[in-house]
Amino acid sequence: MLKLTIEEIIRKINNEETFEAVSNDYSFTIKIDEYVHYACGAVHDGHQFRKELWTNCLHTEYERWFEEDPETKEMVKSHPIVIAGCDSRFEYDLNRAPETAIYTDAWGKQLWRNPLPENQKVKSLQKHANFYKVVHALLYKLEEKFGVCVVYDMHSYNWKRWTRAVPTWNLGTANVDNKRFGNEIESWRAILEKTPLPNKIKSTSLINDTFQGNGYFLKYITQNFKNTLVLATEIAKVYCNELEQIMFPEVVVAVEKYLKTELKMHAEAFYKKHKS
């Protein structure tokens, strides 16, 4: 893996070079093994939290982990194009617009003992801006090259906090063109429902049940790239014990193995239908 500046990453994308890199501030990774008509994103995969923020943060390491989406990058690692955040959403949230990306409170609890100094906010928001510069360059290249593109926007959610039955998988489609892409949305939901999971975990999938797909990553791409479908895909945290902070690697591996073939087949069917 290379360590590259934002300018170097964008230059490689513009030149259609294949590479795997971490940004020079270690805020995100990007891998391009081949230029194809689909990409995977895991914006909440990161857990890094810069040290100058530690003493000012009221949330524990566990509380931060609880609201992050661990292993979502791992679930799509085999695909040709993967971009993922390395930093915790508690430093800045890549799935929120810049003006709301830095929390003052999180899930009902005040986040900072004292208001963040302006220079610390600037540092965080610069990372947010850099990530979206690369996202823009990447999607511009893919739409230019293929005409259409589909992005699998991977997330997870804490299903045990719900007081009703919730699906293993949820697709959020409130901000995408359901009339144009309705068949692909439904076929993706059906694929997810058939995910073979170990430990007698049942796989179910619904659309707009627990979340509606209101994230900034989806909105940014959809608003700037009219021929790209973003599938906001949430898996319930059946792959860990979210209350004890214990990972179930066999479940993560099962998801990754299934999506390795099924996600690719879905992307190929999408391209075959919409490339013209």
Task: Give the CATH number for residue 54.
Answer: 3.40.630.40
Instruction: Say what the pTM is.
Output: 0.97
Question: End-to-end alpha-carbon separation of the chain, Å?
Answer: 36
Digits of tens for pLDDT over the chain (276 positions)? Answer: 999 999 999 999 999 999 999 999 999 999 999 999 999 999 999 999 999 999 999 999 999 999 999 999 999 999 999 999 999 999 999 999 999 999 999 988 999 999 999 999 999 999 999 999 999 999 999 999 999 999 999 999 999 899 999 999 999 999 999 999 999 999 999 999 999 999 999 999 999 999 999 999 999 999 999 999 999 999 999 999 999 999 999 999 999 999 999 999 999 999 999 997
- What does the block give as tokens for 80? 């040709």
**2, 19 in Cβ contact below 8 A?**
yes
* Residue 146 belongs to domain spanning: 2-274
Helices (H) and strands (E) in the chain, counts: 6, 13
pLDDT value of position 260: 98
**Which of 148, 125, 128 lies closest to 230 in space, CA to CA?**
148
**Which of 103, 105, 69 lies closest to 85 in space, CA to CA?**
69
Q: How many domains does the chain have?
A: 1
DSSP 8-state assignment for residue 57: B
Strands 2-4 and 28-32: unpaired
pLDDT value of position 276: 75
